[in-house]
Amino acid sequence: MYSELVVIVSVSVYNFLDWGDDMKKLGVGIIGVGWVAGAHATAMVQNPHLKIVALVSRRKESCEALKKQLSLDCDILNSYEDLLNHSEVDIVDICTPNAMHCEQVLQAASAGKHIIIEKPICMNLEELQAELNAIRKAKVKTQTGFASRWNPHVLSIMSMIKKGGLGEIFYTEVDYYHEIGPWWSGYNWGANTVKGGPSASLVAGCHAVDLTRMFAGSEATEVFAYGTFGHRKDYEYPPTYAAVVKFSNGKIGKTGNSFENECPYVMNIILHGSKGSIINEKFFTKEWFPGQEGWQTFNSTMLDSGDVRHHPFKGMVDDLVDAILQDRETVNNIESSAKSHELCLAIDKSIETGEEVKLPLLKW
């Protein structure tokens, strides 16, 4: 899995070739124009090989506002079917409410479109299996909105792992702590009801789950989790959980989540290896610094904001474009994304049953 680092770093500094003014750009159609779609679109207009050609949303006013904000030359359509049938749409960007993602992914794959899928890509195991099968059959490129992989602090950590500064990783911990309440526009459909199948792991804990997999460099084989209601009464599923994970290489990890913590946004990252450790902004490695006597600190942008405007979507978008142009897989392709979602669903199953859950759950 550490080979993904090469792709991440190369794309972050990639100098795109000049196609010339007469070369066709890849056309993007966005479905669901809200908070995250605006952040996606802002990243897209910075890529010279993309053009947003169509928008569709429940409220046309949202489309008009985004079109004006970014001075887009695009069509505002009436339906998702119109978007899929648009002659200039090569890539579909799905930014709709969580429970709508699966059906829209299946339709986009059937139409032969490349797909950006905001997390979570599914609500249950059946949906995830259907998406995996459909995308494999269609052979389209996909990218999931796990933009944390392009955060500068995360890139620095992965570079340190790849270059041996931590030695062999034997413990990986990543936690997502973010107070979520009615201030979030998606609260009614995403964070406080079981309708449609959301859970704490799928709504946002998946970011931490995805990084846990990446840092561990191995796939989960077993998980045991506890969920709880800490002090909030407005959730219909446990908004706080902790899960212990065993990986195929025999190493272990932990991933957790809370939407009811009364503190600023925190993405907690702890790694222990045979030659060094990382605890959030601090690192210690005598492999690189034999005279080191205390912790050193990363001088990089941290994962310290839940605002999508601060997420590194440009790296995510640029990686998809490069994957299409070079005919390679994206960093967050369906195979990797499905593994992260599969682990989320295993966490949910363990919370529900009170038992250890073995992976895989999908038919790979």
Least confident of 79-83, 193-197, 360-364: 193-197
More confident residue, 344 or 306: 344
Quote the tokens at residue 356: 């250890």
pLDDT in tens, 106-121: 999 999 999 999 999 9
pLDDT, mean of residues 155-171:
98
16 close to 48: Cβ distance less than 8 angstroms? yes
Least confident of 301-305, 352-356, 357-361: 301-305
Q: Is the pLDDT of residue 231 over 90?
A: yes
Predicted pLDDT at 23: 66
Query: Which class in CATH covers the domain with range 4-147?
Result: alpha beta
Percent of the chain exceeding pLDDT 70 equals 93
List the helix and strand counts (H, then E) for the chain. Answer: 11, 15
Predicted pLDDT at 227: 98
Q: Is the pLDDT of residue 252 over 60?
A: yes
Quote the tokens at residue 51: 């053009």
CATH superfamily name and code, 165-304+334-358? Dihydrodipicolinate Reductase; domain 2 (3.30.360.10)
315 close to 7: Cβ distance less than 8 angstroms? no
The 10 Å CB-count burial string (b at 16+, else e) for 129-143 is: bbbbebbeebebbbb
Q: Is the pLDDT of residue 196 over 70?
A: no
pLDDT in tens, 261-274: 999 999 999 999 99
Residue keyed to tokens 């269609």: 138
275 close to 170: Cβ distance less than 8 angstroms? no
More confident residue, 145 or 305: 145
Strands 75-76 and 91-94, how do they pair? Answer: unpaired
Sorted by where each begins, the domain ranges of the chain are: 4-147, 165-304+334-358
Rounded-to-integer distance, Cα 197 and Cα 193, Å: 8
Residue keyed to tokens 């908004």: 239
Rounded-to-integer distance, Cα 141 and Cα 116, Å: 9
Q: Is the pLDDT of residue 317 over 90?
A: yes
Of residues 128, 130, 135, the one with CA closest to residue 111: 135
pLDDT in tens, 1-18: 444 443 444 444 344 444
**Whether residue 239 has a cis bond before it, omega within 30° of 0:** no
pLDDT, mean of residues 50-62:
97
